Amino acid sequence: MDLLIISIVLAFIIISLYTEIIGPAFTFLIGVIVLGFFGILTPKEILSGMANEQIAVIILLLLLGDIIRKTDIIDGLFDKVFRKTKSYRGFLIKMIVVVSGFSAFLNNTPLVAIMMPYVHNWSKRNNIKPSKLLIPLSYAAILGGCATLIGTSTNLIVNGLVTDQLIVPGLKPLELFDFTIVGLPMIILGSIYLILFGNKLLPDRKDVIADFSTKSREYLVEAQIRSSSKLIGKTIEGAGLRNLKGAFLVEITRGEQRLSAVSPSEIMQEEDILVFAGDTESIAEMINSDTGLALTQVGMFVKKPHTEVLEIVVSHNSTLITKTVRQTGFRGKYDAAILAVHRNGERIPGKIGAVKLKAGDVLLLLAGDDFAKRSYDTHDFYLISKIREFRKLKLYKSITLFGGVAAAIFLSAIGVISLFMALMILMIIILLLKIASPKDIPKSIDYNLAIIIVLSLAIGTAMIKTGMADIIANFIISVFKPFGPLGLLFGIFLITNLLASYITNKAAAAIIFPISVTAAINLGLPTTPFILIVAFAAAANFITPIGYQTNLMVYGPGGYSFKDYIKIGLPLTFIYMFVTVAILYFYYIY
């Protein structure tokens, strides 16, 4: 009866996730409730995932990624590699090479956490949806991680099973580069696949991190060409100002002269004031951009260590009404600069400082730390939304943040401390040094993702507890065993990869490892290829978000569905399977 119930629940989950009948979190919740109702899972087993160290590590890494994203350091570091790259394919190639290369020697999960903020920001700056890049980021990390013993925790777990003589006595521990014979060719082939087919197979989803409600409002904003700007002497078209994402060049003010219909061949001069019509995100991008443009209203605010781009609406009994932007004294009174004014889509002529405010005007602000305190009980305006946050860290804080992440990875890799404890200590240091605010931490947690992980682990527990996982494993191996060593390798890869997709790669490796090695010994075959096939099949997990940590990390930010992973991940899985089996068979057995 238990096997029948778990089979029905699994079928429901797979169908629901693929067809997107209901959300993934609710799908797993229904499945787990059914298993709990029939006594297959106890409440303790359902909730045990909340105490799972790996889940906590993923959440901590995502929190660190969010903290890093709010600083301007990561952009500066990665800009040295990606600065001149403007095309999707060019960025994809560089990203895959960098990430897969580092993943071979660093734990790929923290690497993805560090890289995600930059990939997200680059995609926004270049008008490319993050959904076109985040799955390739995860896959590149997986491909690189599979190339060495230390690249992924799955390989280390399999090696742990090898050295545990209680399971299968007499096995020799795996060496660092035993995985490279398959891992390196697959980095090349997997990269080629992602570069050629990624754009076609990946969804073109809206940026779920962006605030959609602010996208509809368009502002006029002034930017002045600095004396040191590289734009001086360039044409509008040559400087790339005709194709800014989310912003359109309306006019140029040159002294007393105003150029309305700006020609693409117009040559820019020092102290020209360029008026752009743009949405909130595009204006926020201009604040810290390296285009050589300075927003006229920003001034010294850009040097503040912590600023936020906010939207407010002027109230009907406001003292700001009929005053010009300059007369409001907004900087001194509220610790904020008015960047732009929106008035129901109306074109507001003249310089921003001379605009007379009306009730209902929406103002875009660049606010300092004191804004919240100074505006707490004001009736002049109401806060609508926060668009962007900028943090300029002092050198010692930057070193602490990035040095702490590097130290956590290194110390966990050499076994001095667990990655969980290292990250927890780092988070405490970050809060003590006020690199991040304790109030902002809960807002950065993706609770929906945490629920999915916890409940998917409960489903995996049910599969193991009822014997369903063993039944599936033994059935697949018995089917493929008559086809000889080659067929057996295919069968082991298929079942390990399938189980890893739904009960986590670690559980799948633990279940299949003794079966695979025993089958090799019984057939008088070398054990090494049957050990490695389990490791590769468990780690090379591309077809579901819940099968591997990095897939889960990009799942929410990319706005992906389960179907997206199957669409691009299934062909890659088959490529990985055929290459792995062929190399292991001809190198070790044939």
DSSP state of 587: I
Q: How many other CB atoms sit within 10 Å of the CB of residue 499?
A: 28
Structural contact between residues 367 and 308, judged by C-beta atoms closer than 8 angstroms: yes
Return all residues near 7 (Cβ < 8 A) that are at least 6 apart.
Answer: 468
Distance in angstroms (rounded) separating the CA atoms of residues 265 and 563: 47
What residues does each domain of the chain span?
2-206+447-589, 306-391, 395-434
Question: For residues 98 and 143, is the Cβ–Cβ distance under 8 A?
Answer: no
Pick the CATH number of 306-391 from 3.30.1330.60, 3.30.559.10, 3.30.70.1450, 3.30.390.50: 3.30.70.1450
Tens digits of pLDDT across the chain (590 residues): 888 998 898 788 778 866 767 777 788 788 889 988 998 888 888 887 677 676 677 677 777 767 776 666 666 667 777 877 888 999 999 999 999 988 887 667 777 877 887 888 788 778 788 899 999 999 999 999 899 887 787 887 788 778 765 456 677 888 878 899 999 999 999 999 999 999 999 998 765 444 434 445 677 778 888 777 778 888 888 777 766 666 778 788 887 777 877 788 888 888 888 888 777 767 776 766 666 677 777 766 666 767 888 888 888 888 899 999 888 888 888 888 888 888 876 767 667 788 889 888 888 888 888 888 888 888 888 888 777 777 666 777 778 887 887 788 788 767 788 878 888 898 899 888 888 777 777 776 767 767 776 777 677 678 778 877 677 767 777 888 788 899 999 999 998 898 888 766 777 777 788 778 878 887 788 989 999 999 999 999 899 887 787 888 888 788 888 889 999 999 999 999 999 999 999 999 88
Three-state DSSP class for 584? helix
* Distance separating alpha carbons of residues 91 and 82, to the nearest angstrom: 7
